[in-house]
Structure 1
């Protein structure tokens, strides 16, 4: 069964905002509610409803941005944020500042683009500029490559021993647990340190917690 969808418009309480609410209801055929203060979001959330926040960034000032973040972040279930009236050069920054963001519309976006994009977000897709998507994917690929590269060089036995080290086990304990000699464990650890370019067990564990 499809979930019910509800859209909150975060903007000033004005004639223009009321007109936008009416327009969105007409075009999207969903419940649309105008929210002008963070306190208005302190309401009970229905687990059977998908919630979307359409935030007018020209209205949200730096002075109260943290208040909005605090209230919206309470809505962690079935929630997405769509930002509009944004500056093109700030798009990448906005993705970092608004973790639940699923769509961004610049000031130049017209009503047709806005409706098309919101429908895409309603369908579980994302709506960002091509340049931002390219940048984000390139960053992700670089990060994954850096993470995979040293991990791929470790043998299955070295990974097994490194996982033992993560538990705080000594070389003798690792040897007993894996039915190896203590000398073999030391040899494997030497190779692990060398491959990961770390100097001690603490640095190896720190790396392992992040990448394994």
Structure 2
């Protein structure tokens, strides 16, 4: 095994079909392949490049966002998703998180291995038509960024971005150092301004008009002590 090439981390539930897939990857890829349960707290290891392959069939959106945050915090980690239904599903996932690779349920195993090797070399793996759709999507987001967004305030934009990470009202309140009642008031105003009725509709609206929410990195929760200083 070529450890210098990096490792492939398959995030999925363990079952006989998964083991067959892992055995195939071990035979075809010149690097280690490991399996991690979706909710496991995986810690980084020595290889400079870690390719995380998220199983869309067995991972919910909140767990995907947790890996999105982890990848933003750890240098050398690349995210890809497999078992996506079709290109529309890929656009939906890509609008919510930063993926370098996309694999569909219909992709044959040799093509998946080719894509994984490409990702391990530091390149993107997705179709030209999907790239075109995402370029158009982000161009729309860029245009929207130059005009007021339905009268939303800066604080309301912060809160709607947090909704996209799956944060609860309590978690939003802790992150922003406000009360849950204040969060509920902001949500009422947000729903009224963008003409939606629930959190799911608000998240879908945000993805179409604001783009993917940034990872919530660097914030402290209420009552959480600041990080220790190294004295410099």
Distance of 2:112 and 2:44 partners within structure 1: 28
Q: For residues 36-185 of structure 1, what are the structure 2 equivalents within 5 Å?
A: 36-41=37-42, 43-46=43-46, 48-60=47-59, 62=60, 65-71=61-67, 73-75=69-71, 76-88=74-86, 89-99=88-98, 101-139=99-137
**8 Å Cα contact 1:38/1:71 also seen in 2:** no
Secondary structure (helix, strand or coil) at the match of 2:53 reads strand
Which entry has the higher C-alpha Rg, 1 or 2? 1
Q: How many residues align?
A: 141
Distance of 1:136 and 1:72 partners within structure 2: 18
* Higher helix residue share: 1
Q: For residues 9-28 of structure 1, what are the structure 2 equivalents within 5 Å?
A: 9-28=10-29
Calculate the TM-score normalised by the size of structure 1. Answer: 0.58
Structure 2 residues without counterparts, runs of 5 or longer:
146-232
Which structure would you say has the larger RCO, counting Cα contacts within 8 Å and 6 or more residues apart?
A: 2
**8 Å Cα contact 1:8/1:54 also seen in 2:** yes
RMSD of aligned alpha carbons: 2.7
Calculate the TM-score normalised by the size of structure 2. Answer: 0.53
